[in-house]
Structures are given as structure tokens and as C-alpha cells.
Copies of this chain bind each other. A is one copy, B any other.
Amino acid sequence: VKLSELAERIDCRLDGDGEIEIHRVAGIQDAGEGDVTFLANPKYEKTIHATRASAVILRDAAPAAPCAMLRAKDPYLAFARAVALFAPAWKPSPGVHALAAVASDAVLGRDVSIGAFVAIGEGTVIGDNTVIFPNVTIGPGARVGRDCVIHSNVAIRERVTIGDRVILQNGVVIGGDGYGFVRRGDGTHEKIPQVATVVIEDDVELGANTTVDRPAVGETRIKSGTKLDNLVMIGHGVTIGRNVLMAAQVGIAGSTHIDDDVVFGGQVGVGGHLTIGRGAIAVGQSGVTNSLDPGARVAGYPAIDNHEWRKSSALFRRLPELKRRIEALEAQIASLSSSRADKPERSSE
């Protein structure tokens, strides 16, 4: 594609030769002739002089590059769109593979693509244009919306509801039984049947091998626009708001309510029956043991205010020094006291 056309399609201001042919989007270190690269983070802007790319996407205020420039208000968004433009347009063709097992009363929308070894249970409904890759198991009684992409080896259990434009990476499990047991008098545990359901709303994406459990009563719900990374665990009865982001290996215990726009770093753990306020942020590996106010920023275990945690954390490292200072004080006090101890009133100690 010509650079002038690319500029138009990703909504950038062109500064340079619009006739250059661009073949690929590449990272700044890998980019060469015919490549467009990008600079979203101002702190890397000084590296741009060394690029061999034919063009670079960068913010309006960035210094000039030694190649053609595509100026954007949000260069990362422009980059995303450039990647989409050059992405291989590969998508399996519509139709049901001869080696799929689709229940006779399942309802398939228009232009659905069902891969080999996909099992679709009784009464399941699949929306228009949805693509289901091989070795996926769905239903019975599940509903999957339109324009979804269900990658291979996903399990969507009975009666689960999935919205439109949902993307499930490989190995995702939705609707596995929640971890609910009652201790009997003899120390064994009775299973509480986990028979309620899970609702995944529109535009959600779940990463590879992430699991979302179903509860005994009520529902587990992930609201629209939320994106979870790989190997995340969502416990039974949890509600997750809109546009929430969770990095890999986060775990949310049962019945916790997470409001819109919350952001969790990787490996964060959140206890059960908590409320996480809108826009709260927990940095990676935090252990959230109490409910969080909207806008809270926390770190550590147990998670406390991020700013406070950073100060304590810096001092944790200096504990040996603090101990030495206490010992020095004790020695000085002892010395001061002993000189006073010559006086009769302290000699009894």
C-alpha cells in the first residue's frame, strides 16, 4: 500500500513521500525498507534517528525522524490500525466440518464456521458469522452470539451465555463448577451443586487457559468490553464490570464484585465477597484482602495504598540498617544511663 493511502486509512497526517510502498508493520529495531514502524512512548523517541524503516507513526509533538512520518494524536491506536490493515486476512470458510458433532436441534446462524471435532450440544444457539475452531465443546443449552471467535480446545459448558464479538483464546473454560463444598461432621465435604450459569457480555476477550466458574445460585457475569489475559481464574458468583483489564494469572475468589474500569497487574489475588470500586488499580502480585474504594491504587500483600506501600517497601530493604541504628541508640542510652547510674537513685537496677 502507498504511504499516502496508509496515512488516510489510519487517520494520520503525512509528512514525507506519499509514493513510498509499505509492505509491513515492524518494531523499531526490526524495521527496514518498506516497513512502517511506530513510536508510542515518548521516552524512546531519541532512538528514532537510528531506524531503517521507510516510515514511522509518531505523535504530533515528537521530534522529526530521518524517514517519512505519519503524525497521529494517538500513535498507538494508529499503529493498532496499521497492524490490522496488513494482517493476513485468514479466516476459515463458513460451513460445518464433516467431522463435527452438532446436535440436531442446535441452531446455527448464517455463515457460521464450525471446525473438525467440535461438539455442540442439544439446544445450543450459535450466532451469525461466528467461527468455532477444532476440538471445541459447547453446551448443551448454551448461547453464543454473533461474530465471535472461539479458538481450539475451548470448553463452554451447559447453559452458558456468550455475547457478540466475544473472543475466547485456546483452552478457555467457561462454566466449570465453582469451588463450593460444605464440611460434614466427619471432616468430608459435600458438593454444593453448581448449577447456575455464567454470562459473558459483548466484546469480551479471554486469554488462553483462563477459567470462569459457575455458581450454585445467581450467576457469574463478565460485562462488556472486559479483557482478561491468560490463565486467569474467575471464581463462582463473581461480577466483573465493563472495560476491566486483568493481566495473566490473576485469581478472583467467589462472590466478589468488581466495578467498571478496574485494572489488575499479573498474578494479583483478590479475596472472596469483596467489592472493588470503579477504576481501582492493583499492581502485579498484590493480594487484595479488603474491599477497595473507587480509584484506589494498591500494592503489596495485604494490599495497601500504593504510595504508602512504596515507602514501606523501600524501608523493608533498609531493615538491617534500622536495626543497627536501634542498637547504636541502645548502646548510647546505656552509656548515658550508666554514667547517671553512679548516682544512688539508679543503682538499684
Contact = CB atoms under 8 A, between A and B. Distances in A.
A336 to B, nearest CB: 6
Given A188-B225, A193-B87, A285-B269, A317 B304 contact: yes
Nearest to A140: B90
B115 A117 contact: no
B227 A203 contact: no
Chain A interface mostly? loop
18 contacts: A80-B180, A115-B137, A135-B155, A137-B170, A153-B154, A169-B176, A170-B176, A171-B211, A173-B230, A181-B227, A181-B245, A187-B242, A207-B211, A209-B211, A247-B253, A249-B249, A311-B319, A312-B318
Interface in A128-163: 133-137, 140, 151-155, 157-159
B333 A332 contact: yes
A217 B80 contact: no
Interface footprint category on A: 35 or more
Given A25-B217, A86-B195, A134-B137, 4 more contacts: A83-B193, A153-B171, A171-B173, A233-B249
Nearest to A44: B273
Given A119-B117, A137-B135, A267 B247 contact: no
Contacts of A251: 231, 247-249, 266-267
Nearest to A248: B233
Contacts of A97: 101
